[in-house]
Protein backbone atom coordinates (compact mmCIF):
# COMPACT_ATOMS: atom_id res chain seq x y z
CA UNK A 1 0.00 0.00 0.00
CA UNK A 2 1.33 3.41 -0.98
CA UNK A 3 -0.22 6.83 -0.90
CA UNK A 4 0.05 10.26 -2.45
CA UNK A 5 -1.97 13.44 -2.32
CA UNK A 6 -2.56 13.68 -6.06
CA UNK A 7 -2.39 10.87 -8.61
CA UNK A 8 -2.18 11.85 -12.29
CA UNK A 9 -2.48 9.03 -14.81
CA UNK A 10 -0.94 10.16 -18.12
CA UNK A 11 2.07 12.29 -19.05
CA UNK A 12 0.96 14.45 -21.98
CA UNK A 13 0.40 18.20 -21.98
CA UNK A 14 -2.67 17.87 -19.71
CA UNK A 15 -1.05 15.79 -16.99
CA UNK A 16 2.31 17.60 -17.03
CA UNK A 17 0.75 21.08 -17.02
CA UNK A 18 -1.47 20.15 -14.08
CA UNK A 19 1.39 18.63 -12.08
CA UNK A 20 3.53 21.75 -12.47
CA UNK A 21 0.70 24.06 -11.38
CA UNK A 22 -0.12 21.88 -8.38
CA UNK A 23 3.52 21.69 -7.32
CA UNK A 24 3.81 25.47 -7.28
CA UNK A 25 0.67 25.67 -5.10
CA UNK A 26 1.42 22.64 -2.90
CA UNK A 27 5.22 22.21 -2.76
CA UNK A 28 4.96 19.89 0.25
CA UNK A 29 2.33 17.57 -1.20
CA UNK A 30 3.26 14.29 -2.89
CA UNK A 31 2.25 14.30 -6.58
CA UNK A 32 2.63 11.09 -8.61
CA UNK A 33 2.38 10.87 -12.41
CA UNK A 34 2.00 7.44 -14.03
CA UNK A 35 3.07 6.72 -17.60
CA UNK A 36 2.22 3.34 -19.15
CA UNK A 37 5.41 3.40 -21.22
CA UNK A 38 8.09 6.10 -21.12
CA UNK A 39 7.31 9.81 -21.18
CA UNK A 40 7.73 10.04 -24.97
CA UNK A 41 4.65 7.89 -25.57
CA UNK A 42 1.92 10.50 -25.40
CA UNK A 43 -0.35 12.06 -27.97
CA UNK A 44 1.23 15.43 -27.22
CA UNK A 45 4.73 14.20 -28.02
CA UNK A 46 3.62 13.27 -31.55
CA UNK A 47 1.44 16.34 -32.24
CA UNK A 48 2.73 18.26 -35.24
CA UNK A 49 0.42 21.14 -36.15
CA UNK A 50 0.22 23.49 -33.19
CA UNK A 51 -2.08 25.21 -30.74
CA UNK A 52 -4.86 27.55 -31.84
CA UNK A 53 -4.70 30.97 -30.18
CA UNK A 54 -6.13 34.35 -31.15
CA UNK A 55 -3.04 36.54 -31.17
CA UNK A 56 -3.32 38.79 -34.26
CA UNK A 57 -5.20 42.08 -34.59
CA UNK A 58 -7.21 40.85 -37.59
CA UNK A 59 -8.50 37.86 -35.60
CA UNK A 60 -10.99 37.73 -32.73
CA UNK A 61 -12.31 35.46 -30.01
CA UNK A 62 -15.71 35.59 -31.69
CA UNK A 63 -14.24 34.30 -34.96
CA UNK A 64 -12.47 31.42 -33.20
CA UNK A 65 -15.65 30.61 -31.29
CA UNK A 66 -17.71 30.53 -34.49
CA UNK A 67 -15.16 28.33 -36.27
CA UNK A 68 -15.21 25.88 -33.35
CA UNK A 69 -19.02 25.81 -33.25
CA UNK A 70 -19.24 25.27 -37.02
CA UNK A 71 -16.73 22.42 -36.91
CA UNK A 72 -18.68 20.84 -34.03
CA UNK A 73 -21.84 20.73 -36.19
CA UNK A 74 -24.05 22.35 -33.56
CA UNK A 75 -23.20 19.92 -30.75
CA UNK A 76 -20.62 21.98 -28.84
CA UNK A 77 -21.41 23.65 -25.52
CA UNK A 78 -21.11 27.33 -26.35
CA UNK A 79 -20.24 28.35 -22.79
CA UNK A 80 -17.32 25.90 -22.76
CA UNK A 81 -16.14 27.02 -26.21
CA UNK A 82 -16.10 30.69 -25.20
CA UNK A 83 -14.38 29.98 -21.89
CA UNK A 84 -11.64 27.83 -23.43
CA UNK A 85 -10.89 30.21 -26.29
CA UNK A 86 -10.68 33.24 -24.00
CA UNK A 87 -8.16 31.36 -21.83
CA UNK A 88 -5.95 30.49 -24.81
CA UNK A 89 -3.61 33.52 -24.64
CA UNK A 90 -2.88 32.84 -20.96
CA UNK A 91 -2.18 29.16 -21.72
CA UNK A 92 0.26 30.23 -24.41
CA UNK A 93 2.05 32.52 -21.94
CA UNK A 94 2.21 29.70 -19.38
CA UNK A 95 3.76 27.35 -21.93
CA UNK A 96 6.36 29.93 -22.88
CA UNK A 97 7.08 30.59 -19.18
CA UNK A 98 7.83 26.85 -18.96
CA UNK A 99 10.35 27.12 -21.78
CA UNK A 100 8.28 26.33 -24.89
CA UNK A 101 9.47 28.24 -27.95
CA UNK A 102 7.37 28.91 -31.04
CA UNK A 103 8.24 30.06 -34.53
CA UNK A 104 8.55 33.79 -35.20
CA UNK A 105 8.09 35.81 -38.36
CA UNK A 106 10.66 38.19 -39.83
CA UNK A 107 9.55 40.98 -37.49
CA UNK A 108 9.92 38.79 -34.42
CA UNK A 109 6.21 38.26 -33.79
CA UNK A 110 4.66 34.83 -33.35
CA UNK A 111 4.21 33.13 -36.72
CA UNK A 112 0.74 31.69 -37.23
CA UNK A 113 -0.53 29.12 -39.73
CA UNK A 114 -3.99 28.30 -41.04
CA UNK A 115 -5.61 24.88 -40.91
CA UNK A 116 -8.88 23.32 -42.03
CA UNK A 117 -12.02 24.93 -40.59
CA UNK A 118 -10.26 28.11 -39.43
CA UNK A 119 -11.32 31.41 -40.98
CA UNK A 120 -8.08 33.10 -39.90
CA UNK A 121 -4.45 32.04 -39.44
CA UNK A 122 -4.11 31.40 -35.68
CA UNK A 123 -2.09 28.20 -35.31
CA UNK A 124 0.98 28.90 -33.17
CA UNK A 125 3.61 26.27 -33.94
CA UNK A 126 7.20 25.16 -33.74
CA UNK A 127 7.84 23.98 -37.29
CA UNK A 128 5.96 20.65 -37.54
CA UNK A 129 7.13 19.40 -34.13
CA UNK A 130 5.01 21.52 -31.81
CA UNK A 131 3.94 18.74 -29.46
CA UNK A 132 7.48 17.45 -29.10
CA UNK A 133 8.77 20.89 -28.11
CA UNK A 134 5.91 21.48 -25.66
CA UNK A 135 6.46 18.04 -24.08
CA UNK A 136 10.21 18.43 -23.70
CA UNK A 137 9.89 21.92 -22.18
CA UNK A 138 7.28 20.76 -19.66
CA UNK A 139 9.32 17.66 -18.77
CA UNK A 140 12.41 19.80 -18.23
CA UNK A 141 10.47 22.06 -15.87
CA UNK A 142 8.91 19.10 -14.08
CA UNK A 143 12.23 17.38 -13.50
CA UNK A 144 13.63 20.54 -11.92
CA UNK A 145 10.94 20.43 -9.24
CA UNK A 146 10.88 18.38 -6.04
CA UNK A 147 7.67 16.78 -4.87
CA UNK A 148 6.67 15.27 -8.25
CA UNK A 149 7.39 11.63 -9.05
CA UNK A 150 7.13 10.52 -12.68
CA UNK A 151 6.76 6.73 -12.67
CA UNK A 152 7.26 5.31 -16.15
CA UNK A 153 6.28 1.77 -17.19
CA UNK A 154 3.47 1.76 -14.62
CA UNK A 155 0.04 0.54 -15.75
CA UNK A 156 -3.12 1.76 -14.04
CA UNK A 157 -5.30 -1.37 -13.94
CA UNK A 158 -8.46 -0.23 -12.16
CA UNK A 159 -9.64 2.69 -10.07
CA UNK A 160 -10.16 2.15 -6.35
CA UNK A 161 -13.74 3.15 -5.57
CA UNK A 162 -16.18 3.18 -2.68
CA UNK A 163 -18.16 0.09 -1.76
CA UNK A 164 -21.84 -0.44 -2.47
CA UNK A 165 -23.12 0.79 0.91
CA UNK A 166 -21.07 3.97 0.70
CA UNK A 167 -22.29 4.58 -2.86
CA UNK A 168 -25.90 4.24 -1.74
CA UNK A 169 -25.35 6.56 1.23
CA UNK A 170 -23.67 9.28 -0.88
CA UNK A 171 -25.73 8.65 -4.02
CA UNK A 172 -22.47 8.54 -5.97
CA UNK A 173 -19.26 6.59 -6.30
CA UNK A 174 -16.02 8.00 -4.88
CA UNK A 175 -12.50 7.41 -6.20
CA UNK A 176 -9.66 6.73 -3.76
CA UNK A 177 -6.78 6.04 -6.15
CA UNK A 178 -5.83 3.18 -8.44
CA UNK A 179 -4.50 -0.36 -8.58
CA UNK A 180 -1.16 -0.07 -10.38
CA UNK A 181 1.11 -2.63 -12.05
CA UNK A 182 4.85 -1.95 -12.13
CA UNK A 183 5.96 -3.49 -15.44
CA UNK A 184 9.64 -3.64 -14.53
CA UNK A 185 9.17 -5.24 -11.10
CA UNK A 186 6.06 -7.15 -12.25
CA UNK A 187 4.28 -6.20 -9.06
CA UNK A 188 0.84 -4.79 -8.17
CA UNK A 189 0.34 -1.96 -5.73
CA UNK A 190 -2.66 -0.09 -4.37
CA UNK A 191 -1.83 3.61 -4.74
CA UNK A 192 -4.35 5.66 -2.76
CA UNK A 193 -4.79 9.39 -3.29
CA UNK A 194 -6.96 12.32 -2.31
CA UNK A 195 -7.58 13.34 -5.93
CA UNK A 196 -7.13 11.17 -9.03
CA UNK A 197 -6.84 12.64 -12.51
CA UNK A 198 -7.19 10.67 -15.75
CA UNK A 199 -5.13 12.18 -18.59
CA UNK A 200 -4.77 8.96 -20.57
CA UNK A 201 -5.45 10.06 -24.14
CA UNK A 202 -7.64 8.44 -26.78
CA UNK A 203 -8.62 5.23 -28.53
CA UNK A 204 -6.74 5.29 -31.85
CA UNK A 205 -5.36 1.77 -31.53
CA UNK A 206 -8.83 0.32 -31.76
CA UNK A 207 -8.40 0.91 -35.51
CA UNK A 208 -6.11 -0.51 -38.20
CA UNK A 209 -4.97 2.93 -39.36
CA UNK A 210 -4.13 5.42 -36.62
CA UNK A 211 -1.77 8.31 -35.98
CA UNK A 212 -1.80 7.64 -32.23
CA UNK A 213 1.06 6.16 -30.19
CA UNK A 214 0.63 2.53 -29.20
CA UNK A 215 -0.60 3.41 -25.70
CA UNK A 216 -3.91 4.79 -27.07
CA UNK A 217 -6.21 1.90 -26.14
CA UNK A 218 -8.85 3.83 -24.17
CA UNK A 219 -7.54 2.77 -20.75
CA UNK A 220 -8.72 5.80 -18.78
CA UNK A 221 -12.18 5.76 -20.32
CA UNK A 222 -12.63 2.04 -19.66
CA UNK A 223 -11.45 2.37 -16.04
CA UNK A 224 -13.79 5.31 -15.48
CA UNK A 225 -16.69 3.37 -17.01
CA UNK A 226 -16.05 0.40 -14.72
CA UNK A 227 -15.98 2.84 -11.79
CA UNK A 228 -19.43 4.13 -12.72
CA UNK A 229 -18.52 7.38 -14.49
CA UNK A 230 -20.76 8.76 -17.22
CA UNK A 231 -19.31 8.40 -20.74
CA UNK A 232 -20.73 10.12 -23.82
CA UNK A 233 -20.17 11.12 -27.47
CA UNK A 234 -17.96 8.09 -28.07
CA UNK A 235 -19.39 7.79 -31.59
CA UNK A 236 -17.49 10.91 -32.64
CA UNK A 237 -14.08 9.61 -33.77
CA UNK A 238 -12.11 12.12 -35.78
CA UNK A 239 -10.11 10.57 -38.59
CA UNK A 240 -7.17 12.63 -39.76
CA UNK A 241 -7.46 12.78 -43.56
CA UNK A 242 -3.76 12.64 -44.32
CA UNK A 243 -1.78 9.86 -42.68
CA UNK A 244 1.11 8.39 -44.64
CA UNK A 245 -0.18 5.28 -46.42
CA UNK A 246 1.50 2.03 -45.39
CA UNK A 247 0.48 -1.61 -45.27
CA UNK A 248 1.39 -2.36 -41.67
CA UNK A 249 -1.62 -3.03 -39.47
CA UNK A 250 -1.30 -1.84 -35.92
CA UNK A 251 1.74 0.37 -36.51
CA UNK A 252 1.19 4.10 -35.88
CA UNK A 253 0.70 5.83 -39.23
CA UNK A 254 2.85 8.91 -39.61
CA UNK A 255 0.68 12.01 -39.62
CA UNK A 256 1.11 14.43 -42.52
CA UNK A 257 0.22 17.65 -40.74
CA UNK A 258 -2.83 19.62 -41.82
CA UNK A 259 -0.60 22.69 -41.84
CA UNK A 260 0.79 21.40 -45.13
CA UNK A 261 -2.63 21.88 -46.73
CA UNK A 262 -2.83 25.26 -45.02
CA UNK A 263 0.49 26.01 -46.68
CA UNK A 264 -1.08 25.32 -50.10
CA UNK A 265 -0.73 21.57 -50.80
CA UNK A 266 -3.41 19.97 -53.01
CA UNK A 267 -5.36 16.75 -52.54
CA UNK A 268 -5.28 14.70 -55.76
CA UNK A 269 -6.50 11.24 -56.76
CA UNK A 270 -4.45 8.53 -58.49
CA UNK A 271 -5.07 10.29 -61.82
CA UNK A 272 -3.60 13.53 -60.51
CA UNK A 273 -6.97 15.32 -60.33
CA UNK A 274 -7.86 17.69 -57.50
CA UNK A 275 -11.17 16.50 -56.05
CA UNK A 276 -11.94 18.33 -52.80
CA UNK A 277 -13.93 21.13 -54.45
CA UNK A 278 -16.35 18.45 -55.65
CA UNK A 279 -17.26 17.88 -52.00
CA UNK A 280 -16.92 21.25 -50.26
CA UNK A 281 -16.48 24.89 -51.28
CA UNK A 282 -13.50 25.18 -48.93
CA UNK A 283 -11.58 22.57 -50.90
CA UNK A 284 -8.52 21.23 -49.10
CA UNK A 285 -9.28 23.43 -46.08
CA UNK A 286 -12.64 21.85 -45.31
CA UNK A 287 -13.02 20.30 -41.85
CA UNK A 288 -11.40 16.92 -41.29
CA UNK A 289 -14.63 14.92 -41.34
CA UNK A 290 -15.46 16.22 -44.82
CA UNK A 291 -11.98 15.60 -46.19
CA UNK A 292 -11.80 12.10 -44.68
CA UNK A 293 -15.14 11.03 -46.16
CA UNK A 294 -14.20 12.52 -49.51
CA UNK A 295 -10.95 10.52 -49.52
CA UNK A 296 -12.75 7.31 -48.57
CA UNK A 297 -15.26 7.97 -51.35
CA UNK A 298 -12.41 8.39 -53.84
CA UNK A 299 -10.75 5.16 -52.66
CA UNK A 300 -13.97 3.12 -52.79
CA UNK A 301 -14.97 4.51 -56.18
CA UNK A 302 -11.57 4.07 -57.82
CA UNK A 303 -10.36 0.90 -56.10
CA UNK A 304 -7.00 2.62 -55.60
CA UNK A 305 -5.76 2.15 -52.00
CA UNK A 306 -4.91 5.79 -51.30
CA UNK A 307 -5.00 9.37 -52.56
CA UNK A 308 -2.11 11.85 -52.66
CA UNK A 309 -1.02 15.12 -51.13
CA UNK A 310 0.64 17.18 -53.85
CA UNK A 311 3.29 19.78 -52.89
CA UNK A 312 5.08 19.90 -56.23
CA UNK A 313 3.90 23.44 -57.00
CA UNK A 314 5.29 24.77 -53.70
CA UNK A 315 8.77 26.16 -52.99
CA UNK A 316 11.07 23.21 -52.21
CA UNK A 317 13.40 25.09 -49.88
CA UNK A 318 10.53 26.55 -47.88
CA UNK A 319 8.97 23.09 -47.54
CA UNK A 320 12.19 21.66 -46.09
CA UNK A 321 12.48 24.52 -43.58
CA UNK A 322 8.84 24.72 -42.48
CA UNK A 323 8.11 20.96 -42.44
CA UNK A 324 11.36 19.15 -41.59
CA UNK A 325 9.65 16.20 -39.85
CA UNK A 326 7.36 15.47 -42.79
CA UNK A 327 10.15 16.16 -45.29
CA UNK A 328 12.59 13.77 -43.61
CA UNK A 329 10.04 11.02 -42.95
CA UNK A 330 8.97 10.99 -46.57
CA UNK A 331 12.61 11.05 -47.69
CA UNK A 332 13.26 7.97 -45.56
CA UNK A 333 10.41 6.31 -47.48
CA UNK A 334 11.93 7.26 -50.84
CA UNK A 335 9.65 10.24 -51.49
CA UNK A 336 10.90 13.76 -52.19
CA UNK A 337 7.85 15.88 -51.38
CA UNK A 338 9.08 18.62 -53.70
CA UNK A 339 8.89 16.28 -56.70
CA UNK A 340 6.71 13.32 -55.62
CA UNK A 341 3.11 13.27 -54.35
CA UNK A 342 2.68 11.83 -50.84
CA UNK A 343 0.37 8.75 -50.55
CA UNK A 344 -2.18 9.32 -47.78
CA UNK A 345 -5.24 7.69 -46.19
CA UNK A 346 -7.55 8.69 -43.32
CA UNK A 347 -6.49 7.34 -39.92
CA UNK A 348 -8.12 7.37 -36.48
CA UNK A 349 -6.73 10.46 -34.85
CA UNK A 350 -8.82 11.96 -32.06
CA UNK A 351 -11.76 11.07 -29.82
CA UNK A 352 -14.22 13.96 -29.45
CA UNK A 353 -16.18 12.26 -26.65
CA UNK A 354 -15.10 10.45 -23.51
CA UNK A 355 -15.55 10.82 -19.74
CA UNK A 356 -18.19 13.44 -18.99
CA UNK A 357 -16.74 16.28 -16.91
CA UNK A 358 -18.05 19.56 -15.55
CA UNK A 359 -16.49 23.02 -15.80
CA UNK A 360 -13.86 21.99 -13.22
CA UNK A 361 -12.94 18.76 -15.08
CA UNK A 362 -14.66 16.67 -12.38
CA UNK A 363 -16.33 13.44 -13.54
CA UNK A 364 -19.55 12.03 -12.12
CA UNK A 365 -17.38 9.99 -9.69
CA UNK A 366 -16.29 12.01 -6.69
CA UNK A 367 -12.61 13.07 -6.54
CA UNK A 368 -12.06 11.70 -10.06
CA UNK A 369 -11.10 14.22 -12.74
CA UNK A 370 -10.47 13.79 -16.46
CA UNK A 371 -8.52 16.14 -18.73
CA UNK A 372 -7.19 15.96 -22.27
CA UNK A 373 -8.45 13.62 -24.96
CA UNK A 374 -10.05 11.11 -22.58
CA UNK A 375 -12.45 13.81 -21.33
CA UNK A 376 -15.71 14.97 -22.87
CA UNK A 377 -15.85 18.67 -22.01
CA UNK A 378 -18.31 19.90 -24.63
CA UNK A 379 -15.69 21.87 -26.56
CA UNK A 380 -15.55 19.74 -29.70
CA UNK A 381 -19.13 18.66 -30.26
CA UNK A 382 -19.33 16.34 -33.25
CA UNK A 383 -15.91 17.26 -34.66
CA UNK A 384 -12.79 18.90 -33.25
CA UNK A 385 -11.50 22.03 -34.95
CA UNK A 386 -7.85 21.57 -35.92
CA UNK A 387 -5.32 22.46 -33.19
CA UNK A 388 -7.98 22.89 -30.49
CA UNK A 389 -6.83 19.71 -28.75
CA UNK A 390 -3.59 20.93 -27.14
CA UNK A 391 -5.49 24.08 -26.23
CA UNK A 392 -8.31 22.19 -24.50
CA UNK A 393 -5.89 19.94 -22.61
CA UNK A 394 -3.88 22.84 -21.22
CA UNK A 395 -6.92 25.02 -20.42
CA UNK A 396 -8.79 22.24 -18.60
CA UNK A 397 -5.61 21.39 -16.70
CA UNK A 398 -5.93 24.93 -15.35
CA UNK A 399 -9.61 24.50 -14.50
CA UNK A 400 -8.81 21.21 -12.76
CA UNK A 401 -6.02 22.90 -10.80
CA UNK A 402 -8.39 25.58 -9.50
CA UNK A 403 -10.83 22.93 -8.29
CA UNK A 404 -8.18 20.81 -6.57
CA UNK A 405 -6.60 23.91 -5.02
CA UNK A 406 -9.87 24.78 -3.31
CA UNK A 407 -10.81 21.25 -2.18
CA UNK A 408 -7.67 19.20 -1.55
CA UNK A 409 -7.30 20.02 2.14
CA UNK A 410 -10.85 18.82 2.81
CA UNK A 411 -10.43 15.42 1.10
CA UNK A 412 -9.38 12.62 3.48
CA UNK A 413 -6.72 10.10 2.50
CA UNK A 414 -8.29 6.65 2.82
CA UNK A 415 -5.35 4.45 3.74
CA UNK A 416 -7.70 1.47 4.13
CA UNK A 417 -8.97 1.71 0.54
CA UNK A 418 -7.89 -0.98 -1.87
CA UNK A 419 -8.94 -2.53 -5.14
CA UNK A 420 -11.53 -5.29 -4.99
CA UNK A 421 -9.33 -7.27 -7.38
CA UNK A 422 -5.87 -8.12 -6.14
CA UNK A 423 -5.41 -11.84 -6.89
CA UNK A 424 -4.32 -11.74 -10.52
CA UNK A 425 -2.33 -14.53 -12.13
CA UNK A 426 0.36 -13.02 -14.35
CA UNK A 427 0.36 -14.38 -17.90
CA UNK A 428 2.55 -13.68 -20.90
CA UNK A 429 1.60 -12.42 -24.32
CA UNK A 430 0.49 -15.00 -26.88
CA UNK A 431 -0.18 -15.30 -30.61
CA UNK A 432 -3.85 -15.80 -29.77
CA UNK A 433 -3.99 -12.46 -27.96
CA UNK A 434 -2.29 -10.73 -30.88
CA UNK A 435 -4.80 -12.28 -33.27
CA UNK A 436 -7.75 -11.02 -31.21
CA UNK A 437 -6.27 -7.50 -31.05
CA UNK A 438 -5.98 -7.61 -34.84
CA UNK A 439 -9.59 -8.75 -35.12
CA UNK A 440 -10.74 -5.87 -32.91
CA UNK A 441 -9.01 -3.38 -35.22
CA UNK A 442 -10.49 -5.02 -38.32
CA UNK A 443 -14.05 -4.92 -36.92
CA UNK A 444 -13.75 -1.32 -35.75
CA UNK A 445 -12.26 -0.13 -39.05
CA UNK A 446 -14.86 -1.96 -41.12
CA UNK A 447 -17.99 -1.28 -39.08
CA UNK A 448 -17.27 1.82 -36.95
CA UNK A 449 -14.91 3.81 -39.14
CA UNK A 450 -15.21 6.90 -41.34
CA UNK A 451 -18.58 5.70 -42.66
CA UNK A 452 -20.95 3.25 -40.96
CA UNK A 453 -24.20 1.35 -41.53
CA UNK A 454 -26.81 0.23 -39.03
CA UNK A 455 -26.47 -3.44 -40.00
CA UNK A 456 -22.70 -3.20 -39.70
CA UNK A 457 -22.92 -1.62 -36.25
CA UNK A 458 -25.35 -4.31 -35.06
CA UNK A 459 -23.03 -7.02 -36.37
CA UNK A 460 -20.08 -5.44 -34.56
CA UNK A 461 -22.06 -5.02 -31.33
CA UNK A 462 -22.92 -8.71 -31.35
CA UNK A 463 -19.28 -9.64 -31.93
CA UNK A 464 -17.93 -7.45 -29.12
CA UNK A 465 -20.68 -8.49 -26.69
CA UNK A 466 -19.82 -12.15 -27.21
CA UNK A 467 -16.09 -11.39 -27.00
CA UNK A 468 -16.59 -9.54 -23.72
CA UNK A 469 -18.54 -12.46 -22.20
CA UNK A 470 -15.92 -14.94 -23.44
CA UNK A 471 -13.10 -13.05 -21.74
CA UNK A 472 -14.92 -12.05 -18.56
CA UNK A 473 -13.44 -14.88 -16.49
CA UNK A 474 -10.01 -14.36 -18.03
CA UNK A 475 -9.99 -10.66 -17.08
CA UNK A 476 -11.08 -11.39 -13.51
CA UNK A 477 -8.32 -13.91 -12.83
CA UNK A 478 -5.40 -13.17 -15.18
CA UNK A 479 -3.29 -10.15 -16.01
CA UNK A 480 -0.71 -8.97 -18.47
CA UNK A 481 -0.28 -5.43 -19.84
CA UNK A 482 -1.41 -6.74 -23.25
CA UNK A 483 -4.48 -8.45 -21.81
CA UNK A 484 -5.32 -5.30 -19.86
CA UNK A 485 -5.19 -3.22 -23.05
CA UNK A 486 -7.44 -5.71 -24.84
CA UNK A 487 -9.93 -5.58 -21.98
CA UNK A 488 -10.02 -1.78 -22.18
CA UNK A 489 -10.18 -1.77 -25.98
CA UNK A 490 -13.19 -4.09 -26.01
CA UNK A 491 -14.96 -1.92 -23.41
CA UNK A 492 -14.38 1.22 -25.50
CA UNK A 493 -15.34 -0.54 -28.73
CA UNK A 494 -18.70 -1.50 -27.25
CA UNK A 495 -19.25 2.08 -26.05
CA UNK A 496 -18.43 3.49 -29.50
CA UNK A 497 -20.76 1.06 -31.25
CA UNK A 498 -23.66 1.36 -28.77
CA UNK A 499 -23.55 5.15 -28.85
CA UNK A 500 -23.29 5.06 -32.65
CA UNK A 501 -26.51 3.05 -32.75
CA UNK A 502 -28.18 5.59 -30.45
CA UNK A 503 -27.24 8.50 -32.73
CA UNK A 504 -30.18 9.16 -35.06
CA UNK A 505 -28.71 11.95 -37.20
CA UNK A 506 -25.42 12.39 -38.99
CA UNK A 507 -23.20 15.14 -37.65
CA UNK A 508 -19.52 15.98 -37.92
CA UNK A 509 -17.35 12.88 -37.69
CA UNK A 510 -20.35 10.55 -37.36
CA UNK A 511 -21.73 9.34 -40.69
CA UNK A 512 -24.16 6.45 -40.98
CA UNK A 513 -25.04 5.78 -44.63
CA UNK A 514 -28.49 4.52 -43.62
CA UNK A 515 -29.46 7.94 -42.26
CA UNK A 516 -29.43 9.26 -45.85
CA UNK A 517 -27.77 12.60 -45.31
CA UNK A 518 -25.27 14.10 -47.72
CA UNK A 519 -21.50 13.77 -47.62
CA UNK A 520 -20.71 17.26 -46.35
CA UNK A 521 -21.00 18.92 -42.98
CA UNK A 522 -22.00 22.55 -42.31
CA UNK A 523 -19.62 25.13 -43.81
Q: Give catalytic residue positions.
A: 288
Q: Which residues are within 8 A (CB) of 67 and not within 5 positions of it... i.e. 6 or more apart?
A: 117, 118, 119, 385
Task: Please name every residue paired with 380 in a beta bridge, in sequence order, or none if there are none.
Answer: none
- Pairwise CA distance, residues 46 & 329, whole Å: 13
- Starting at the earlier edge strand, list the strands of the sheet with 231-232: 231-232, 354-356, 375-376
Task: Please name every residue paired with 232 in a beta bridge, in sequence order, or none if there are none.
Answer: 354
- Concatenating the DSSP letter of every residue in 457-523 gives HHHHHHHHHHHHHHHHHHHHHEE-HHHHHHHHHHHHHHHHHHHHHH--S-BTTB-BGGG---S----
Cβ(250)–Cβ(243) below 8 Å: no
Longest dimension (CA), the chain: 68
- Pairwise CA distance, residues 437 & 482, whole Å: 9
165-204: burial string, b at 16+ Cβ within 10 Å, e else? eebeeeeebbbbbbbbbeeeeeebbbbbbbbbbbbbbbbb
Amino acid sequence: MASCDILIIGAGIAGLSLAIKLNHEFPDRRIVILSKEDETQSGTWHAQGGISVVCKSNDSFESHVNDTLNAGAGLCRRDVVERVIRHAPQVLRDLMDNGAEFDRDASGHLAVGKEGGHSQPRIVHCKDMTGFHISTSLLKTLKSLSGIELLTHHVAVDLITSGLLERIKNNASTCYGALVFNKKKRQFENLVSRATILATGGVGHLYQNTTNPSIATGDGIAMAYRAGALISNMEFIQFHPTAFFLNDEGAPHFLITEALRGHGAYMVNHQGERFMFNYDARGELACRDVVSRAIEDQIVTSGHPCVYLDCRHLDARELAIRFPTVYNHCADRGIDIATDPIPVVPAAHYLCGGIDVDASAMSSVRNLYAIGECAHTGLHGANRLASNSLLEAAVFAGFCFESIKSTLSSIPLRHDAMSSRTAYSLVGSSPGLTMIRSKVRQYMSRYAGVTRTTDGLLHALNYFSLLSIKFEDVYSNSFSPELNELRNAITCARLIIKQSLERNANAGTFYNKDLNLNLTSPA
